[in-house]
Amino acid sequence: MNVKDIKHAGLKKWIGEFAELTTPDAIVLADGSSSQYDELINLTVESGLATRLNPAKKPGCVLFLSDPSDVARVEKRTYIASETQDAAGPTNNWMDPKQLKKEMTDLYRGCMKGRTLYVIPFSMGPIGSDIAKIGVELTDSPYVVTNMMIMTRVGKKVLDVLGTDGYFVPCFHSVGKPLAEGESDGGIWPCAPMEHKYISHFPETREIWSYGSGYGGNALLGKKCLALRIATVLARDEGWLAEHMLILKITNPEGKSRFLTGAFPSACGKTNLAMLIPTVPGWKVETVGDDIAWMKYGSDGQLYAINPEAGFFGVAPGTSASSNYNALVSASSNTIFTNVALTEDNDVWWEGIGYDAPGKLIDWNGNEWVQNKADKTQKPAAHPNARFTAPASQCPSIAAEWEDPKGVPISAILFGGRRPHTIPLVHQSNDWSHGVFLGSIVGSEVTAAALDVKAGTIRRDPFAMLPFCGYNMGDYFQHWLDVGHAAPDAEKLPKIFYVNWFRKTDEGKWLWPGFGENSRVLKWVFERCEGTAKYVKTPIGIMPTLDAIDRPVGVSEEDMKELLSVDIDGWLEEVKDIRTNHYPMFGKHLPKELATFLDKLEADLRAAK
Ligand code: GTP
Ligand code: SPV
Ligand code: MN
């Protein structure tokens, strides 16, 4: 099947217009077949863009190295170009849509000369499901096409659903032109200089225009651009939630299952929690999704979630057989690796893989690299935001329900982030609206998942959505409150929790072992949903009693006390920061209900002092 066979007149016309602007040498339709996937991979290997990995160790896998400047999302170059700046709100970059389109049109002009334009019809969500949304991405990057074929459902079946006049979200993408001719040649994908990169969203017309980057969320436009930034706008208008959340299934020893979602900022543990192997005997965790959840009320009044994706674009560093066995198995075949290191026998290696680097490696910059553990300043062999793109179907812990078009009923929602101090291991909101308050104040140490924010500093990342909300975040808070108020049955609303796996001692050691041990907290969450868990009421919300969570090996009673106590002075600092630096930003868009929760929190903390 090729582009000529497309029956949808609007789609054909739109492809024609973009081709006329970008002047590619050829136009190819991504039909979703495995033969085409293999051809595309062969093409990238033959052209030197990718390296095929050792088929005995990593069958069907390849490694791509990016330009050193093109390694993560670029938040400063990401735009919400709504008609007014007020609609984009204080947390988004805004540009006048007409001006932005003009600048980008100039950049797109002729940018695909000598390249092939690929047309990728894709579905976010199971094809044909009521909840699914269709997009069509036009791109000049074979890396993007192959990644999209893993991350979404691509091809002819999507065109069939689209028919002759169905609705799709149009997504333009080009890796763009390097400044100088020939720049970025030699086994890395080209990209444009930073000042020419644009990741643009037009919320009113629901269009996505991306230029100049070939990396992940900047380029795989179904993911953060469609399934979050554009989807948040659709969700606001249609009364549902599009969130940066994992979805997991947890089953107790009696065989009762519950589903929960969790929003943690980028590189803060969603993939790991979704694939966790419990250390608590008899309990089981299975995976529904690791990055994005779309949630809507079902006819039974329960909130249901679907995972709109079909693969994992997971952080490689830190992934080992002991930290995340299921991710490692998922990514052991038919996987695309990006910016990890290559071993002499064409296998992959990264920091935290669980064993020393074998011999001489090629690092993510393409240079020879030999591990020197004595040298604390040695640059890592894999980029800290190196990733694997693996089919979800390969995950040993994938839940039977993961592709259920009606989604899975959600009992609990977790919020969290990297907080070395103050925030306890777990606390629960008093009700939905108080949970919205907790979501609105989430803060986290910045990670390597975005390029232009300083890693290590703490920033507020409400709902883990700071970089992904397609409209005014104050209005988004209100939307969350409204979804709660609109619940067909308030009793059936998910319970909301705030977790923190990242507490540190004064010496900088982890206070909590994390990973599989997080199952102890999930067990308490499960038992709160059952109504059986032991708890106490505190100024910040509901918390486990000291004996309600079994202590993991290596965690002393003192540690546990610290993890589960309310640090009154720390929280008062938190209140001060929210009051002076966070909430005022939203002006009249800040829901009054949230300001009231902040006042009450302060009063309760002072009363407890
Ligand atoms: P995105 O894909 O960027 O949205 O990230 P994510 O939230 O899925 O993050 P992921 O699970 O990939 O975790 C990122 C990093 O956090 C990895 O290096 C993990 O090893 C580390 N990590 C995950 N869970 C834990 C935990 O419980 N404790 C500690 N200390 N580190 C963790
Ligand atoms: C994130 O940064 O939250 C990711 C990776 O999941 S990306 O697809 O690049 O957004
Ligand atoms: Mn993410």
Question: According to the model, what pLDDT value does residue 446 have?
Answer: 82
Residue 444 CB–ligand 1 contact under 6 Å: no
The 3-state secondary structure of 521-561 reads: HHHHHHHHHHCCCCEEEECCEEEECCCCCCCCCCCCHHHHH
Task: Please name which ligand lies nearest the alpha carbon of 320.
Answer: 1
Task: Please name which ligand lies nearest the alpha carbon of 287.
Answer: 1
Question: According to the model, what pLDDT value does residue 185 have?
Answer: 46
Probe target for ligand 2 pocket from 152, 266, 465, with the most ligand atoms within 8 Å of CB: 266
Q: Containing H/E element for 595?
A: helix 592-608
Q: What confidence tens digit (pLDDT) does each residue in 279-314 have?
A: 999 999 999 999 999 999 999 999 999 999 999 999
Question: According to the model, what pLDDT value does residue 22 have?
Answer: 97
Task: Please name which ligand lies nearest the alpha carbon of 269.
Answer: 1
Ligand 1 nearest-atom number relative to CA 290: 8
**Domain locations in the chain as residue ranges:** 3-46+76-239, 243-310+399-608, 312-394
Ligand 2 nearest-atom number relative to CA 449: 2
Classified by CATH at the fold level, domain 243-310+399-608 comes out as Phosphoenolpyruvate Carboxykinase; domain 3 (3.90.228)
Tell me the two tokens of residue 343: 């071993």
CATH code of the domain occupying 3-46+76-239: 3.40.449.10
Using DSSP, state whether 120 is helix, strand or coil: strand
Residue 216 CB–ligand 1 contact under 6 Å: no
Question: According to the model, what pLDDT value does residue 454 have?
Answer: 67
Residue 313 CB–ligand 2 contact under 6 Å: yes
Altogether, the residues listed in the chain come to a count of 609
Probe target for ligand 1 pocket from 315, 322, 502, with the most ligand atoms within 8 Å of CB: 315
Q: Rounded CA gap, 480 and 463, in Å?
A: 10
Where b means 16+ CB within 10 Å and e means fewer, 452-470 reads ebeeeebbbbbbbbbbbbb
Q: Rounded CA gap, 10 and 346, in Å?
A: 45
Question: According to the model, what pLDDT value does residue 448 have?
Answer: 73
The answer to whether 268 is a known catalytic residue is yes
CA distances from 240 to 111, 476, 596 (A): 38, 11, 25
Residue 75 CB–ligand 2 contact under 6 Å: no
Q: Rounded CA gap, 98 and 173, in Å?
A: 18
Residue of 268, 395, 469, 529 with catalytic role: 268
Residue 314 CB–ligand 1 contact under 6 Å: yes
Task: Please name which ligand lies nearest the alpha carbon of 263.
Answer: 1
Q: Rounded CA gap, 57 and 55, in Å?
A: 5
Task: Please name which ligand lies nearest the alpha carbon of 520.
Answer: 1
Residue 552 CB–ligand 1 contact under 6 Å: no
**Cβ atoms < 10 Å from Cβ of 503:** 21
Going from the Cα of 243 to the center of ligand 3, the distance in angstroms, rounded, reads 10
Going from the Cα of 217 to the center of ligand 2, the distance in angstroms, rounded, reads 5
Question: According to the model, what pLDDT value does residue 182 have?
Answer: 55
Going from the Cα of 366 to the center of ligand 3, the distance in angstroms, rounded, reads 26
**Residue 184 — left, alpha, or beta (φ > 0 → left; ψ -120 to 50 → alpha)?**
left
Residue 570 CB–ligand 1 contact under 6 Å: no
Percent with pLDDT over 70 in the chain: 97
Residue 264 CB–ligand 1 contact under 6 Å: yes
Residue with CA at minimum distance from ligand 2 atom 7: 217
Tell me which amino acid residue 159 is.
L
CA distances from 560 to 273, 326, 425, 549, 564 (A): 21, 28, 9, 9, 6
Q: Which residues are placed with Cβ below 5 angstroms of ligand 3, an ion?
A: 266, 291
Going from the Cα of 310 to the center of ligand 1, the distance in angstroms, rounded, reads 20
**Cβ atoms < 10 Å from Cβ of 411:** 22
Probe target for ligand 2 pocket from 77, 220, 270, 313, with the most ligand atoms within 8 Å of CB: 313
Residue 290 CB–ligand 2 contact under 6 Å: no
Going from the Cα of 255 to the center of ligand 3, the distance in angstroms, rounded, reads 31
8 Å CB contact between 270 and 262: yes
Ligand 1 nearest-atom number relative to CA 510: 30
Probe target for ligand 1 pocket from 268, 313, 453, 522, with the most ligand atoms within 8 Å of CB: 268
Sheet architecture: strand order including 348-349: 348-349, 341-342, 360-362, 368-370
Query: Could you say which residues of the chain have pLDDT below 50?
Result: 185
Residue with CA at minimum distance from ligand 1 atom 4: 266
Residue 31 CB–ligand 1 contact under 6 Å: no
Q: Containing H/E element for 259?
A: strand 257-263
DSSP letter, residue 379? P
Going from the Cα of 445 to the center of ligand 1, the distance in angstroms, rounded, reads 12
Residue 309 CB–ligand 1 contact under 6 Å: no
Of 387, 281, 384, 282, whose CA–CA distance to 327 is shortest?
Answer: 387
Ligand 1 nearest-atom number relative to CA 319: 20
CATH code of the domain occupying 312-394: 2.170.8.10
